Structure formats: structure tokens, C-alpha cells
Amino acid sequence: MPKSARIWQAISLLLAVALAAVLIAMHQHIATSHNTTGTLPTVNSLSDAPTLVLSPAARRTQERYSL
């Protein structure tokens, strides 16, 4: 087998292992951050959610229908 093919195989294996590690880490983070009530989190319950930027019309609609 040519040397370049082995290099590409090694790079592909490394990328696959890195992808698997990232997916496992994300799964663990999501599993630990879920509420125990079994409901999906809302925007208001996410403490680390960025502030949503709304247009003035969308902001008025959101304020009108928010509790």
C-alpha cells in the first residue's frame, strides 16, 4: 500500500475518533442539563441562552402574548 494512502487512513481514523469523543461529550452534557420533570427546556429557563434579538414588531408580539 502506498505511503500516502496510509497517511490518509490514519488521518481519517483520527478524525473519526475525535468526532466520536465530541458526540459522547455533547450527549453527556445534554443528559446532565435536562430538567428532572421530563419537559423540554424553554427559552426562559435556559440560563446560558444568549439574548434573542427581535425586530420591534416581533418584540411587540412577543410581549403581547408572553405571560
Q: pLDDT (tens digit, 9 = 90+) per residue, 12-44?
A: 999 999 999 999 998 887 777 655 556 665 655
Contacts for 41 with CB less than 8 Å, ≥ 6 apart: 33, 34, 35
With 80 as the cut, is the pLDDT of residue 58 above it? no
**How far is 59 from 13, CA to CA, in rounded Å?**
48
